[in-house]
Structure 1
Amino acid sequence: MKTLDASGDNPIVDLEAKYFVLGQLGGGGCGSVFAGFRREDLVPVAIKHIPKENLYCKQVCLNGKKFPTEVAIMLKLTAKKNDSVGTSAPVSILDWYDLGHELIVVMERPVPAIDLSTYIKLKRGSLQEGDAKNIMKQLVDAAIGLEKNGVFHRDIKPENILIEIGQSVPRVRVIDFGLSCLTKKGSFYSVFFGTEKYAPPEYCSSSVYRAGPSTVWQLGTVLYEMLHNQGFMTKRFLRKQLKISSGLGKNLKDFLQLCLEKEPKLRPTLTELQLHPWLRETSPPNPDKNT
């Protein structure tokens, strides 16, 4: 994998020479993302434009060199895959360009794929237990992988989870590391970067949170939305305006309640979640009534 920055002769000319740029895929507070293809082999790519003023965490050191934080995190995760694109949950970085006024990040673009929010809508607002379990198993595995690499995503939500739908078992991919950071075990944070409605209770009450318990909470909010045909909001859940359905299976309900435990010290670790009976049990084959 070759990465480029503003030290090249003309980075924008290089970008246009290497990639076809198509329509916009989406945008938000951090920047805009466009679809494209790599010219040499027509590999689908996503090209993210991030204005410099939208970079929350400016630079970090990786292997003795300074990189924009999002680039450093994606380079670190991609290096663990031996440069093999599409072999694990986090999408791979292919190139990056520092233009001074903006950062451009070129990533793989899984196709066909839709974000989890859209996937849930296509299933008429909620998923069958077996489908939700398959997705959650992959998410927990992905979160453990990030944790082992010292990466705190900070914004796990349905819009940042892609579902590859071109195979018999939907495959999870994790995207958007724009709010992520490199972390050490036991570190505390006092400034929240992420989507406020999914913020962990400890931040809402005391403005202090940690990576592991916060990630478990956000996984719980994702599972809640997969099962309940309504959006999640931490403050509404804490006020008991949102409730866990009584119709869920025993192990599933226990798993979700553990993730959404108000006290962070009582939430399981990611490894403990991985070993929970609900993820380990075999679901009976049920026809998908939502299709």
Structure 2
Amino acid sequence: MGYSLHPSFARNYQLCDELGSGGYGFVMTAVHQIEQVEVAVKFVIKDKVPKEAWVTDEVFGRLPMEVMLLMMVNHGNIVKCLDVYEDELYFYPLPFLDVPSRPQYCRRPSHDLFECIEQTKHKRLSEKQARYIMSQVVDAVHYLKNQGISHRDIKDENLVVDRDLRVKLIDFGSATIVDPSFPRPYYKLFFGTTAYASPEILQKKPYQAEPAEVWTLGVLMSYLLTGMSPFPSENDALEGRIVLSEVPGKRLSKSCLHMMARCLEPDPTRRATIEEVREHRWLRGSESAVGRH
């Protein structure tokens, strides 16, 4: 990096490769000098964090919202922050995430779900594999909802998998938190990725985070199962016209299509809740999914 990192971090970890970058910072791999364990560390650039994205913690003082949320959450399918380093320019929670091993159907090392899908034969997963991944993502979103947290940028690039398709949700740079005992607020500003944006967001209407989050789950299902968005155009998304590209000779199950349609209901007041999605019959029996198509 050509930069003097926190002395304790520098003593224990050797930085390696950059994995990616975003609006507030970048992610790099690092290896523990003694244990030789590889982790991924996100460097949050202080000057790029907007004023509304800062919070005050009783122990750590002023922190970016993203860092505080990573310290709060405790779920098997969500990245967990165990420690935080800070210097003049950066916050860097650590370990941000154990770097997963190579998924068995990927031809080269890969860390996010988008890359793994791209490397499969048909650029899509089997229904069994997709169901297993979705069950984990839905469980994570349900957990966050009960904590008053909305991720607001769920997509394949923010899901990391290991060789057994165990999922970790990462990148809380767009996340928000409210008191879960209060009615959920409406938002005007859009946080996330346009390809996953719900109709109410595309129409620039005030929106609630949970229905918008459920919509992203339906879009994610399509990417997992077909390798493509369910909507060829923005008008298709606004009207909820789902167009799927299926593998010749392989049809998606009725329960799969039903769950996707419930998530992609264009009217947010009629769209499935995260509780309905979590209990949907398509997700039952999704304990294992490893295997080739």
Identity among equivalent pairs (%): 29
1:105 corresponds in structure 2 to: 93
> In the alignment, does 2:169 pair up with 1:174?
yes
Question: Aligned-pair distance for 1:177?
Answer: 0.9
> In the alignment, does 2:259 pair up with 1:255?
yes
Q: Call closer, same or farther: CA 1:14–1:210 in 2, change over 3 Å.
A: same
Q: Call closer, same or farther: CA 1:269–1:52 in 2, change over 3 Å.
A: same
User: Using the alignment, how far apart are the partners of 1:45 and 1:201 within structure 2?
Assistant: 37
Deviations 1:107-135 (Å, cap 9, x if unpaired)?
A: 12232153111121122211111111111
Q: Call closer, same or farther: CA 1:39–1:256 in 2, change over 3 Å.
A: same
Q: Call closer, same or farther: CA 1:143–1:63 in 2, change over 3 Å.
A: farther
Q: Contact 1:126 / 1:227 at 8 angstroms: preserved in 2?
A: yes
TM-score, with length taken from structure 1: 0.83
Deviations 1:191-218 (Å, cap 9, x if unpaired)?
A: 1111122111111113311121111011
Q: Which range moves more in the overlay, 53-62 or 135-144?
A: 53-62
Q: Which range moves more in the overlay, 32-41 or 151-160?
A: 32-41
User: Using the alignment, how far apart are the partners of 2:43 and 2:63 within structure 1?
Assistant: 16
Cα RMSD (Å) of the superposition? 2.7
Question: Aligned-pair distance for 1:171?
Answer: 0.5
> In the alignment, does 2:116 pair up with 1:116?
no
Q: Contact 2:135 / 2:286 at 8 angstroms: preserved in 1?
A: no
Q: Contact 1:136 / 1:223 at 8 angstroms: preserved in 2?
A: yes
Q: Contact 2:26 / 2:42 at 8 angstroms: preserved in 1?
A: yes
Give unpaired runs (5+ residues) of structure 1.
1-9, 82-87
1:84 corresponds in structure 2 to: none
Q: Contact 1:191 / 1:207 at 8 angstroms: preserved in 2?
A: no
Deviations 1:215-245 (Å, cap 9, x if unpaired)?
A: 1011111101111232466725326786145
Question: Aligned-pair distance for 1:55?
Answer: 1.4
Q: Call closer, same or farther: CA 1:118–1:49 in 2, change over 3 Å.
A: same
Counterpart of 2:275, as a letter, is: T
Query: What secondary structure does 2:283 align onto?
Result: helix
Trace 1:1-291 onto structure 2 (pairs within 5 A). 12-56=6-50, 57-62=52-57, 65-77=61-73, 80=74, 88-106=76-94, 107-112=96-101, 114-123=111-120, 124-165=122-163, 167=164, 170-184=165-179, 185-231=183-229, 235=234, 237-238=236-237, 243-244=243-244, 247-280=251-284, 288-289=292-293
2:105 corresponds in structure 1 to: none
TM-score, with length taken from structure 2: 0.82
Deviations 1:247-275 (Å, cap 9, x if unpaired)?
A: 42211111001111111111111111111
How many pairs were matched up?
A: 269
Query: What secondary structure does 1:264 align onto?
Result: coil
Query: What secondary structure does 2:88 align onto?
Result: coil
User: Using the alignment, how far apart are the partners of 1:108 and 1:222 within structure 2?
Assistant: 22
Question: Aligned-pair distance for 1:40?
Answer: 4.2
Q: Call closer, same or farther: CA 1:232–1:33 in 2, change over 3 Å.
A: farther
User: Using the alignment, how far apart are the partners of 1:151 and 1:29 within structure 2?
Assistant: 20
User: Using the alignment, how far apart are the partners of 1:195 and 1:275 within structure 2?
Assistant: 27
